[in-house]
Structure formats: structure tokens, C-alpha cells
Homo-oligomer: A and B are copies of this chain.
Amino acid sequence: MESRISIITLGVKDFLAAKDFYTIGLGFRASSAGSSNIVFLDAGGVGLALYPRDLLAQDAEQPDNGSGFRGVTLAHNVARREDVATVLAQAQSAGAKIVKPAQDAFWGGHSGYFADLDGHLWEVAWNPHFKFRADGGIDLSR
């Protein structure tokens, strides 16, 4: 197995609202690969797909019965400490709920969380210990 995540798929209740949130609200670009109920967004080195939650459960052959904390978070890392609050404000303007305002973190950085329209959690973080690659991703090669 190549050590790679190709796509993260988020199950969504209102597909068009979710698509608008990520494209118009947050600025992700939809690729031409989608159809009427799936969209693939270019999220840097990885794809972010939005798909109706009931169909996602069905595809994975799981009962669509989940509730509460999902045990998964997505992180958007920024290059400057002050960008954390800016990105959280942008997400809030687009309809996200701020679940943890920007604040200093015990590990020496600065971060906050928002929940998207379907409750998927995003951390917005500035981590002074990380280096960025030329393409903007975090350099985890060492």
C-alpha cells in the first residue's frame, strides 16, 4: 500500500448548501469530476468530497445511525498566528459555527475550531513547530 490518503469524504445532509459553503464560502474549487450529488474539491494534495450522508453510509454498508462526537477532525494550518482568527471569521461568515475561538494552545501554537453545516469539525491552527513545503502543505518528510 502506498502511504497516501487520496480523498476525504464528508457526508452531508443538504448537498447544495454544503457545496456552496465550501466553494462560495471557503473558496475551495470544484473539479469537473463531480455529478449531481457528489463534488470533488481540490484541497491541496488531497481531495475533499461532499456526498449525501445516507448514501455514504449505504456505500460503506453501515447503518446511518451515528450521533455525537465523530472522533475525526480536519486541520487547516496557517502560516501566521493572526491568520487563525481571520479564517475562523471567514468560516463563520459562510455559515459555520465557531466551537472554540482562537486561543493559545498548550503545545505552543494558536488555534480554534469551527463546525461546518453538518457538524464536521475543522481546527484552524498556527503551529510554529511545523515547516511548510513549497506547495503550501506541511512538511512531514523528517
User: Does B63 contact A66, Cβ atoms closer than 8 Å?
Assistant: no
**For this complex, into which size category does the number of interface residues on chain A fall?**
35 or more
Q: Does A26 contact B (CB under 8 A)?
A: yes
A60 interface contact, C-beta 8 A: yes
Shortest Cβ distance from A35 into B: residue:
B107
Q: Does B87 lie within 8 Å of A1, measured CB to CB? A: yes
Q: What is the bound-complex CA distance between A6 and B100, given in angstroms?
A: 19
| Complex CA–CA separation, A45 to B49 (angstroms) | 16
Among the listed B28, B125, B142, which residue makes an inter-chain contact with A31, where contact means beta carbons less than 8 Å apart?
A: B142
**Given A1-B76, A4-B137, A71 contacting B44 (CB threshold 8 A):** no
| B61 and A113 contacting across the interface, CB-CB below 8 Å | yes
Contact B1 A33 (CB under 8 A): no
Residues of B close to A90: CB separation below 8 A: 1
Q: Mark A1-33, 1 if CB is under 8 A from B, else 0.
A: 111111111110000000000000011110111
7 A-B residue contacts at CB 8 Å? Answer: A6-B76, A8-B75, A31-B141, A42-B140, A44-B46, A62-B69, A70-B70
